[in-house]
Amino acid sequence: MKRISVDMDGVIANVYSQFVAMHAAEFGKLVTADEMNGKPEDVAFENALQYVRSPGFFRSAPVIEDSKEVLRKLNDQYKIFIVSAAMEFPNSLVEKHAWLNEHFPFIGWQQMVFCGSKEIIKADIMIDDHFKNLNFFTGETILFTQPHNKLANALDHKRVENWQEIERLLLP
């Protein structure tokens, strides 16, 4: 059975909505998609590092549309591993674990991989929104479009815009 490594932030957890909401609460201004496109999160949102260190940032992130339904289907035909770099920010590990248990109860603890660097990940397919994770990966790579990577050439990665595209790509 093929293994799929699925990133959390920006792939199944909508952290961009968190950034937008926290920025709006702090500065009274909504950052538009055009203002975010092509910029790393810490450039698009000047206090991004403060936001990700805030209690509740990861725990209260909305689920990306259709990710739950498609992952449930994929979980029946592939070995799914949710892989997240969860060591950098103090609240991240506990909040991400609780978030997965709440929103993806069909993903067991054995399928959750919290790490520092994703360089150690061995799977057949990796779905991620960051080139830094995809570029070293030796299997098939799927780039999930987010504002920070929207203007970049996908290089050797297959780009998808949403979970319906992943479903069409990976499920017969």
- C-alpha to C-alpha distance for 147 and 31, rounded to whole angstroms: 11
Question: Which pLDDT value is given to residue 88?
Answer: 85
Residue 156's alpha-carbon distances to 16, 61, 82, 142, 159, in angstroms, are 25, 30, 22, 9, 9
Do residues 74 and 111 share a domain?
yes
Do residues 81 and 144 share a domain?
yes
Do residues 9 and 27 share a domain?
no
- C-alpha to C-alpha distance for 56 and 45, rounded to whole angstroms: 18
Q: Which residue(s) pair with 79 in the sheet?
A: 3
Do residues 47 and 70 share a domain?
no
Question: Which pLDDT value is given to residue 155?
Answer: 85
Domain that holds residue 145: 3-13+63-170
| The pair of three-digit structure tokens given for residue 149, joined into one six-digit string | 């990577």
Residue 58 lies in a domain: no
Average pLDDT over residues 88-114: 96
Do residues 21 and 7 share a domain?
no
Residue 16 has pLDDT above 90, yes or no: yes
Give per-residue pLDDT as tens, 22-63.
999 999 999 998 999 999 999 999 999 999 999 999 999 999
Give per-residue pLDDT as tens, 121-151.
999 999 999 999 999 999 999 999 999 999 9
| The pair of three-digit structure tokens given for residue 69, joined into one six-digit string | 């339904």
Q: What percent of the chain has pLDDT over 70?
A: 100
Active site residues: 7, 9
